[in-house]
Amino acid sequence: MSLVKEFNDYREKMNDVILEKENKTLKRFFSLDHQAYAEGALPVKTKELMGLVASMVLRCDDCIKYHLGTCYEIGVTTEELYEVFSIANLVGGSICIPHTRRAAEYWEELKSS
């Protein structure tokens, strides 16, 4: 499961480098970013799918990988996932197709792990 491990390791290592600089605004922003996806009036699953679709239309591969990882953990199915992909592609256009390819590859790795 190399793509997944590589992503998570790099992410963790660099977050440490960033947070140890003790910039208060950045620290609070990172913490707020997690808080936004917590269970609330909307369930965690809906929020993760929203995080994923937002990452896809903004075309950020690393953000996509992060949300794919969480989606996998909470049991999103492949059929559901591809409906997210279809909305992202319709809203964001064919410019999202290359990101969809990399997302599909990462999802296969998550499933085969």
Rounded CA-CA distance 36/44 in Å is 10
Under the criterion CB under 8 A, does residue 71 sit at the interface with its own copies?
no
Q: Running DSSP on this structure, what letter comes out for residue 42?
A: S
Under the criterion CB under 8 A, does residue 1 sit at the interface with its own copies?
no
Residue selected from 23, 44, 73, 113 as contacting its own copies according to rule CB under 8 A? 23
Query: In this structure, how many other beta carbons lie within 10 angstroms of the beta carbon of residue 53?
Result: 19
Q: How many residues bind its own copies (CB under 8 A)?
A: 64
- Identify the CA nearest to 77 among candidates 96, 49, 44: 49
Query: In this structure, how many other beta carbons lie within 10 angstroms of the beta carbon of residue 61?
Result: 15
Residues in contact with its own copies by CB under 8 A are 10-11, 14-15, 17-18, 21, 23-26, 28-30, 32-33, 35-37, 40-42, 46-47, 49-51, 53-55, 57-63, 77-80, 82-98, 100-102, 104-105, 108
